[in-house]
Structures are given as structure tokens and as C-alpha cells.
Amino acid sequence: MRLVVGAPLRLFNTLGRELQEFAPLEPGRARVYTCGPTVYAYQHIGNLRAYVFADTLRRVLEWKGYEVVQVINITDVGHLTSDMDEGEDKLELASQREERSVWEIAAHYTDVFLEDLEKLRMRPPTLWAKATDHVEEMIAFARVLEEKGYAYELEAGLYFDTAKVPDYGKLALLDLEGLQEGARVAPTAGKRNPTDFALWRASPRDAVRLMEWDSPWGKGAPGWHLECSAMSMRYLGERFDVHTGGVDHIPIHHTNELAQSEAYLGRPWVPVWLHNEFINLRRAKISKSKGGTLLLSDLEQQGFHPLAYRFLLLGSHYRSQTEFTWQGLEGARVAQRRLLERLRERVPTRGDPLTYEEAATRLEGSALAYPEQLDEAVSADFNTAQALAVLTQLSRDSELPVDDLDVLASASEALLAVGLLDLAPEKLDLPAGELLLEADEVDRLLGEREEARRRGDFAAADQIRDRLDELGVEVRDTSEGTVWSVRAADAGPAREDHL
């Protein structure tokens, strides 16, 4: 058994909505499952917060001495356009849209996702689990549920009967009486309860599905929720410690995972559920042609190092809804650059990131208690903003011995991974396009241009277009209307051709 050190880790458990002290099922070992992406499109920077949070969780656990086993899934089949099992498979739609095979789609978006995580210095999990590699396990899982009487078969496939689970919805605190099926899609014929969901989706008789497998219920594909239950148990054991994901997973995906897993086991499943809040991108979209999303590569094209984004994320609590703005990112970069400059000035050579024990040993006898301060911050439900504040404050303290500052920086890097040991401050600025324009401002100018064109003043309209062009915004008139995108500095055309 490993030695676990530092303050007790207190975390906010969505199940029960309270702060709890972390107590793993197995002493010294933490088993964690993180809901991964559906690889049918690029992950925007808001999506990436979930993985920076999962990485922070892992770093904090390892810093305290836990052996961490972490699994993240890659969903490459089964996630429909509605989380409620209605609509079409996201991968199949993307395949039609991009005229590439589902396998090419999955491979492409998985690669970009993994590159983004690497740029953000996320350490790879113990295991990536890909849904299409585990269909056998999913079928076996659904068989057990059927044998136990939790499932019923319809023409649309095998469905889970949520009425058989007395505490269904406990994670989301769902008001079942008030629940209605979404009005946008027609409910599946024969479903017993609005909340029932597909374990197995039967292939339509009159159409060929791009991805389908044989099963006891005929040809078809697994349901999205089933994937995570089957794959997490396969690698982490029937019960494990922590399940993480974005808050959007609470009402349907995680609610259904929990219900089917506890039905399968006949006892409680994962005790701790951690959910990160959204990053709101509404005010910062830079390209309408990309559906209003903002990618990590967009930040790079605008001259921001990916670690400046990580620094920004760590500056707010993972459970707070945060608005992304370019000014906010610039503010994070300035703070990070000053911090790196102060560290470089005072501690020109650096070592490797330290564990809690190593940091504490090296600072033994020191009057100040930096590792404790850092540890207390991250142990309080991952208060990374506080940890950054401790570090920033101490880096300004000219009385602090250089050796101590060095240890402090090394320890902080182990927890925060924002380039304290190896990133030169000037590297935070990448070569970029000329200008940062808020989307609102571009929209306003385009509105003026539209107005000018309506009244026939084409010279004025062209003038606005030229001005935007000078500011690095490319405007194109298409059959669907006017679209615009921010031109990369030297990266050639943007990726909009893929979307």
C-alpha cells in the first residue's frame, strides 16, 4: 500500500450534492473513469475543459501518493444527435456530410483531439477505450439486463425500463412526473416510459447502417450510455472510485449509466461523480462558417500558446460557469508571462516536477509552509486558482530563498502543468494574425455593410469589407448568406473545408 500524504481531499460529489472527503474503495489506489469525446467533429475549447479537469484530478491524486488508474473512452459509434436516443448517429451524419467513411471520420477527429490534449500537457490516461472495440462486452452487458428483467424489445431495438429502478434519476434529482419527451423528435413507438433508453438500436429494415453488428436482437449498434458502463467495468472493475464528465452529462447520459449499472450489479455502483461546468463561448466566436465553435488551434492562430489557455482554465474553479473572452485570455497570458519571468530571473535552472513528499522533504526546516499551502488549495475541491495565487504571491517575495522558490515552482508544476519549468516566457506569444476582433464587433460591421448594400451604396459596403480585411477578417458572400472567418497569420486557409 502506498503512503498517502497531505490534507484530506475534499470534493463536491454530484451524487448527493455535497462536499465529501475522498475515501477510495481500495486504500492507496484511485480508479477513475472520464467520459470522453464523440469523435464526429472538432472538440472546441469549452469541451477541452473536461480533460484539463480530469488531468488536474489525476495530478492531485498522484501528488498525494495515490496510484491512479484512469480510463477515458472514445465514442466512435452510438451517440445520436439527441442524447435521448432519438435522431441519427453523429458519426454516420458526419460521414455523409464530409463524404468520408465513418472510420476516417473517427480517426481524424480522434487524432486532432489527442494532439490538443498533448498541447495542453494532459498526461495520457492509463488506457483509452474505443467503443467499437468493445461491442462484445456491451452485448454481454445488455444480455444480463435482459435476463434480469430490466429490458424489453421493440422494433427499434432493446430498451431499458427505467420504471424498474426505484431511484432512477437520483444523480440529476430528476422530476420524473414533470418529464416530457423532447418535442423536436417523435418518440419511439412502444416505449413504456419517456425516460427509457436504447441499450441496443436495431438497424432499420429498409436501410443499411454504416456501422452495425450482429446481436441477439438482430443487426444493430449499441446505445451510447451502455458503452461507458461496459467499458468502465471491463477495465476498472465492477465498482470504482470516481466518474467524471461535463455537467451536460448529468441529466441523461450519467443518469442512465448509473441506472443500468446498478441494475446490472444489484448494488450501488460508482460512489463519487464529479462534473465540470461549461465555458461559455457565446461572446467569442470567431467564425460563423465553423458553427460558432472555437478550437485550440484558433487560439494558436491568434497567437496564444495552448498553455495560456490552460492557465486561464486553472484560474477559475472547475465548477463555475466561465465566460471565455479574448481579454480574459490575454489577461491570463500576461499573468503567466510575469510569473515565468520572475521565476527565470531568480531560478535560472530548473529540475523536474516534484511530488508532495519530495517537496516537503526538500523544504524541511523551512519556516514557510509552501507545499502545505499548495496542498490545502488543491485539496479543497481542486481550488487551482488559489494554488496559482499562492505561487504568484511567493514568486514576488524577494526574501524567499532561491532554493525554496525552486522547490515551490517544481511542486506547482506537478500539480498545474503550466510550463513553470521549461517554457520560456516569450514562447507564450506565438506569431499570429494582426488583430483580435470580438465577434460582436464583426457582426456590427457586417450589419452596416448589409445596410449599405440594401440602400445601394456599394462603395460604402466595399469599404467596410476592405476594412475588415485589413483587420484580418475574411468576408465571403455565399448562397447561405455572408460568412466570415479570421485569417490565420501564415497557416493558409482555415479548416472550414472540413466542417
Q: Which is nearer to Zn ion, 229 or 301 (CB)?
A: 229
Q: Residue 141 CB, nearest distance to Zn ion (Å)? A: 14
Q: Which is nearer to Zn ion, 89 or 406 (CB)?
A: 89
Query: Between β-strands 473-478 and 322-323, what pairing exists: parallel, antiparallel or unpaired?
Result: unpaired
The least distance separating Zn ion from the CB of residue 142, rounded to whole angstroms, comes to 16
Cβ proximity to Zn ion: between 153 and 248 the closer is 248
Q: What is the spatial distance between Cα 12 and Cα 276, in angstroms, rounded to a whole number?
A: 10
**CA atoms within 13 Å, Cβ hemisphere of 314:** 32
Residue nearest to Zn ion (CB): 228
**What grid cell was written down for 49?**
475543459
Separation of alpha carbons 496 and 298, rounded Å: 12
| Nearest 10 degrees: Cα torsion 329, 371, 318, 243 | 140
> What's the rounded Cα separation, in Å, for the pair 37 and 51?
10
Q: Least distance from C-beta 325 to Zn ion, angstroms? A: 30
| CA 454 – CA 178 distance, rounded (Å) | 48
Neighbours of 27 (CB within 10 A): 10
Min separation Cβ 483 and Zn ion, Å: 34
Phi, psi of 485 (to 5 degrees): -150, 160
Q: Which is nearer to Zn ion, 226 or 421 (CB)?
A: 226
235 residue type, one letter: Y
* CB of 113 or CB of 304, closer to Zn ion: 113
As measured in angstroms, the least distance from the Cβ of 243 to Zn ion is 8
Name beta bridge partners: 72: 34, 128
Here the cell at position 475 is: 468576408
Which of 244/322 has CB closer to Zn ion? Answer: 244
Q: What is the DSSP letter of 25?
A: S
User: Would you say 35 or 464 has its CB closer to Zn ion?
Assistant: 35
The distance of closest approach from Cβ of residue 34 to Zn ion in the complex, given in angstroms and rounded to an integer, is 9
Q: What residue ranges bind Zn ion (CB under 5 A)?
A: 35, 228
Cα four-point dihedral sign 241, 246, 249, 251? positive
**Of 228 and 308, which CB lies nearer to Zn ion in the complex structure?**
228
Q: Nearer Cβ to Zn ion, position 236 or 363?
A: 236
Q: Which of residues 35 and 423 has its CB atom nearest to Zn ion in the complex? A: 35
Q: In the complex with Zn ion, which residue's Cβ is closer, 128 or 152?
A: 128
Closest CA to 218 of 226, 209, 228, 229: 209
Shortest separation between residue 69's beta carbon and Zn ion, angstroms: 17
135 neighbors 213 (Cβ within 8 angstroms): yes
CB of 238 to Zn ion, least distance (A): 17
Radius of gyration (Cα) for the chain, nearest Å? 25
CA 186 to chain centre: 30
In the complex, the smallest distance separating the C-beta of residue 225 from Zn ion, rounded to whole angstroms, is 7
Determine whether 402 is exposed, middle or buried from the number of CB atoms within 10 Å of its CB (0-12, 13-18, 19+). exposed
Min CB(253)–Zn ion separation in Å: 6
- Count Cβ atoms within 10 A of the Cβ of residue 98 and give its class: 0-12 exposed, 13-18 middle, 19 or more buried: middle
Least distance (Å) between residue 246 CB and Zn ion = 10
CA terminus-to-terminus distance, the chain: 50
Nearest residue to 395 via CA among 386, 377, 378, 408: 408
Spatial distance between the Cα atoms of 141 and 190, rounded to a whole number of angstroms: 23
